[in-house]
Amino acid sequence: MNISIIVAVSQNNAIGNNNKLLYWLPNDLKRFKALTSGHTIIMGRKTFESLPKGALPNRRNIVLSTQKDIHFDGAEIFSSLEEAIRHCNPEEEIFIIGGESVYKQAMDLANRIYLTRVEDSTKEADAFFPIIDEKIWKEKSREAHSIDEKHLYPYIFIDYQKDI
Ligand SMILES: NC(=O)c1ccc[n+]([C@@H]2O[C@H](COP(=O)([O-])OP(=O)(O)OC[C@H]3O[C@@H](n4cnc5c(N)ncnc54)[C@H](OP(=O)(O)O)[C@@H]3O)[C@@H](O)[C@H]2O)c1
């Protein structure tokens, strides 16, 4: 099974504040949509609640929660990451889309990280991505983008794979 993490991080690994994303980068959203559409996405309950229009279309939305009677339209609820993964098709690529608590749990299980590194470290943040151990994760590609009228910060798309 291919388990991929997808995340946008600042230079100091910040990913969110007050249950909101830190950056709005249209090209990053496009990449997220292109990579995840047609696949399964797994997220924590807080990340699901932060989505402005609820479940993301054209994807199987899985939400992790320990709460027994919780229900979200368009999403399946599982009470652990391992249980969620057991209910996924072993042939497909699964995307772990956050937040902090789920990324931490997924680092050992995942074999790929699609990272967007935003070249900024000024934002106040209360959620962070784990340090990527370069003994375990090997950079496979990177694509740098400059500031333009739609992107307030330079950003780099970096793909890592676990060397097993
Ligand atoms: N920059 C990015 O790419 C990106 C992407 C996604 C999210 N974020 C940011 O990340 C932040 C949210 O992260 P977070 O860590 O606070 O919340 P989170 O991981 O989205 O959700 C945490 C909740 O998920 C449930 N959960 C997590 N692991 C579980 C498990 N193994 N079994 C059962 N339930 C589990 C629990 O829900 P219950 O309390 O209901 O049990 C837990 O309280 C926000 O600021 C968000 O904007 C950033």
Q: Which amino acid is at 111?
A: N
- pLDDT tens column, 3-14: 999 999 999 999
pTM for the structure as a whole = 0.98
**Per-residue confidence (pLDDT) for residue 77, from 0 to 100:** 98
Q: Decide whether any atom of ligand 1 lies within 6 Å of the 13 Cβ.
A: no
- pLDDT tens column, 107-127: 999 999 999 999 999 999 999
* C-alpha 93 to ligand 1 mean position (Å): 20
Domain segments of the chain as ranges: 2-162
Longest dimension (CA), the chain: 46
pLDDT at 147 over 80: yes
pLDDT at 164 over 80: no
Distance CA 54, CA 32 (A): 16
Distance CA 2, CA 112 (A): 8
Q: Decide whether any atom of ligand 1 lies within 6 Å of the 117 Cβ.
A: no
Say which residue the tokens 């969620």 belong to.
84
Residue 99: asked if its preceding bond is cis (omega within 30°), the reply is yes
Q: SS3 string of 104-121?
A: HHHCCCCCEEEEEEECCC
Q: Decide whether any atom of ligand 1 lies within 6 Å of the 81 Cβ.
A: yes
Written out in words, the top-level CATH class of the domain with range 2-162 is alpha beta
